[in-house]
Structure 1
Amino acid sequence: MRDMRAEIEWFVDAIALVRDAGTLAMVLGEMTGRLGFGHFALTHHANILDVPRPMIRIHNYPAGWVDFFDRRRLGFSDPVHRASHKTSAGFRWNRIPDLIQMTPGDHRLLELAQDHGLADGFTVPANIVGEATGSCSFASGPDHCLPSDALLWAQFAGTAAFEAARRIWLVDVAPPGPRPQLTDRQRDCLIWAARGKTAWEIGRILGISEETAVRHLKQARERYGVDKQTSLLILALFDGIISFSDIFGH
């Protein structure tokens, strides 16, 4: 049996020295191979084509699959991503039906992933309060069995890799700088909008007029310099102004 403890020690030491995304991708790719997998994907769960500022995303997934994934905007609906919101522990993809209710479209999506060379996998969730959720996935191709003896070590590697990515992105790629500030009313309106309420419903809930609710949301978008409410929501999640518990914890 491989000395995986030594491999993990090498990986932790290596990523401690990493200062850029390209080097992290190279080191994580090397560790992915040492674990016995063929592919990795470390990412925030967002639609990259809709996000107006840098997000965590490094991978060596097949280009055809990535193109399909991005064009279909599957960052939120992907069953692997949705399942990772239901647990803090790493999980094999064959356990996804135990974590979420699978739709026919979900099954077709996983079959299509197999067609692109992602036959099976193991995903390590990264659910950090105040940030967009994310994960680090390791996948095997159709000609290789999932290395079940390495899954515990993959959990360690995935967690360490995501923390390294956060350090790089939050400090170097997307330095904090001055953040937009929302008023309490703007924040309240955004939370209720994220819960699916219309401006009229928000007004009734908060005791304000529909026009005032619309104005608060418009001013919040202006403070962030975005036109779409989805972009405002993502940025507010990244900045910790609201959290997923604000949206789903009611």
Structure 2
Amino acid sequence: MSRTSRGRDSSATYYSNHSDSPLLIPPRHRMMLQLAVFDLLKRDAIPMTDAGLVDLLLKAERILRARTVDEVVTRFSACIEAFGYGTCLITRLPAPDVGNWQTYILANRWPGEWFERYNSAGHYRHDPCVAQCRRTTEPFLWHDIDSANYDKLAEIVMGEASEFGLRQGICIPLHAPFLPPITVTAAGDEVDTSPIARQSVSILSRSALSATMRFGARPAQEAEAGLSHREAEILKWAAAGKTAWEISVILSVSQHTVLTHVRNAKQKLAATNIVHAVVEGLRRHEIEL
């Protein structure tokens, strides 16, 4: 919650070449996956190395293979700790006037004293991060929210969080029709705010959310659905580096149609962006390169 946009850069520490869990992608696809997603990351000006990308995918896969919610959160926490995040929470976000918002929590690794204070003070109703999660589908760092727009109660929430050691953080929201939003939030005293860290924590958070919801937390409306033929086709072209306009020309459809299919594919795959959609599509064998 520090307004400072620069934190420590722990990317080099994180991207080691070890993992005790094999990646569930056919070996013949691994190099193509690496190259395709790396190309997308480069187009977003995120300079992730090949080794870093593979290591990230291995860790995301390991989170997804956890056997219990507690194991999911333990593995997720271990992955994001290298970026400076020491605590996390996965929860639905009911309406602000709901008195028992705690019953919507899916997994909780917030510090006990902060969790107690947050609830006793009624901070949920005034938390600016909760409000921002309702307004956007894009991951955001806490300091991305303009503090000039905070009211007095929002300032108290963020100030007290900082006093409990949660000075900086990130939120990854997910929206679905007719359901409360869901968010994965992680925080720490001093975190890595680099583009690589932001993208990596976002992908790991989506893996943690997907794994958590596998244990009975996913509502019927959010049950996994397969990609349509057109959605898979468009993701394959996106992985090849084609823009929405180029894909529309190739497939003889409008650019609006392409963007609609991309949006639907992202929702089905619980993906935050096209990079994550390609990763999930390949991991689930929905697309082949």
CA shift for structure 1 position 36 = 3.3
Counterpart secondary structure, 1:19: coil
In the alignment, which residue of structure 2 is the partner of 1:41? 89
Normalised to the residue count of structure 1, the TM-score between the two structures is 0.59
Q: 1:102 to 1:5 in 2, by over 3 A?
A: same
Q: 1:82 aligns with which of 128, 131, 135?
A: 131
User: Which residue identity does 2:130 align to in structure 1?
Assistant: H
Mapped partners of 1:67, 1:175: distance in 2: 31
Q: Identity over aligned residues, as a percent?
A: 15
Q: 1:6 aligns with which of 36, 54, 68?
A: 54
Mapped partners of 2:126, 2:210: distance in 1: 24
Task: Give yes or no for contact 1:44–1:134 (8 Å, CA) kept in 2.
Answer: yes
CA shift for structure 1 position 76 = 4.4
CA shift for structure 1 position 20 = 2.0
In the alignment, which residue of structure 2 is the partner of 1:105? 153
Q: 1:162 aligns with which of 209, 219, 238?
A: 209
RMSD: 2.8
Which deviates the most, 1-10 or 161-170? 1-10
Q: 1:128 to 1:10 in 2, by over 3 A?
A: same
Give ranges in structure 1 of 5+ residues lacking alignment: 177-250
Mapped partners of 1:155, 1:19: distance in 2: 21
Moved over 4 A (4+): none
Counterpart secondary structure, 1:152: helix
Task: Give yes or no for contact 1:65–1:116 (8 Å, CA) kept in 2.
Answer: yes
Task: Give yes or no for contact 1:113–1:119 (8 Å, CA) kept in 2.
Answer: yes
In the alignment, which residue of structure 2 is the partner of 1:25? 73
CA shift for structure 1 position 106 = 0.4
CA shift for structure 1 position 130 = 2.7
User: Which residue identity does 1:93 align to in structure 2?
Assistant: W
Mapped partners of 1:17, 1:145: distance in 2: 26
Task: Give yes or no for contact 1:56–1:165 (8 Å, CA) kept in 2.
Answer: no
User: Which residue identity does 1:125 align to in structure 2?
Assistant: P
Mapped partners of 2:210, 2:150: distance in 1: 30
Mapped partners of 1:69, 1:169: distance in 2: 27
Mapped partners of 1:147, 1:38: distance in 2: 14
Q: 1:63 to 1:97 in 2, by over 3 A?
A: same
Counterpart secondary structure, 1:88: coil
Q: 1:90 to 1:51 in 2, by over 3 A?
A: closer
- Structure 2 residue 165 is the aligned partner of structure 1 residue 117: yes
- Structure 2 residue 195 is the aligned partner of structure 1 residue 146: no
- Structure 2 residue 114 is the aligned partner of structure 1 residue 65: yes
Higher-RCO chain (CA-CA 8 Å, sequence separation at least 6): 2
Describe the superposition over 1:16-74 as per-residue Cα deviations: whole angstroms up to 9, x where unpaired: 2223211112111111213332222211124896269x634323222111001222343
Which deviates the most, 56-65 or 121-130? 56-65
